[in-house]
Structure 1
């Protein structure tokens, strides 16, 4: 009999053993959420599909670096997805490609984004974010969905960097508390 659900510990063990069934389970259960995170940053299905492949290869190849003491597995994967998407946007090849595109090919489509975001948010993360105060939600949105660094957020909002760092930490602590209650 093939097991259809795994605990986080079982999944991690399978991935460390380079189990194909563990990877399939990982992809089937987490690709939608990671796709949503990446799409919010790059705002293009084509680029998101390219990046999601890189993200799962990175997870597969660096699973031994995950430390359960430092945080949850899901959070670790989101950080890999976020960082990979931001790195992609900052890459020279992407910047050159943007210069060569006609404007209509890269215009932001809010209808497409909202549709994709709803379908990929099967874990209800958007509902959790709605429980944050607006300033904390803005910090999370700018950093994790739009790909801004803390320095860039400081410049954009015209708030000192130290204040941004404090607000970001407060927002993440509050989000962590909300996620604990959400289980």
Structure 2
């Protein structure tokens, strides 16, 4: 893409042309995804960053008029977003480790607690809607990733993620209603393992 063509394309996007935006996305998304993957070492995070950055560009498209080098602008914007995402992931992992330690301590206090935890968890899982239950079991028992579950069940990755979040929320609510805090912590710990 020549500089002149790029300028014209940016002007069209700034005016709200979805076709021009689609062309811009197609021209840059693949290379940008590879660049972000080198920073994050995660395909899923790279895809998320690319989508978020292009959404931000679309929402603030009027600012494109003053951009001299879109490629530089895009790469700086995406690098900053990727670093913010990595910070968030690191923070979540630290919280996960702390939760894991607390959950293990609480659940492993004695064998009776473990048995009651598993019985309570089984009851909570039995109360889930069929699709959520299947997604939860594939994720937690078979240790399948979102993409593998999506392929096996014929769902989108986002639907799998929503089902799993819904299942975890329902299970946690069920266990909380039974008043078992150690089981709640253990459930949250297992949920956070996938992030």
Q: TM-score, normalised by structure 1?
A: 0.46
Q: TM-score, normalised by structure 2?
A: 0.43
| Structure (1/2) with the larger helix percentage | 2
| Structure ID, larger Rg | 2
Q: Which is bigger in relative contact order (C-alpha 8 A, separation at least 6)?
A: 1
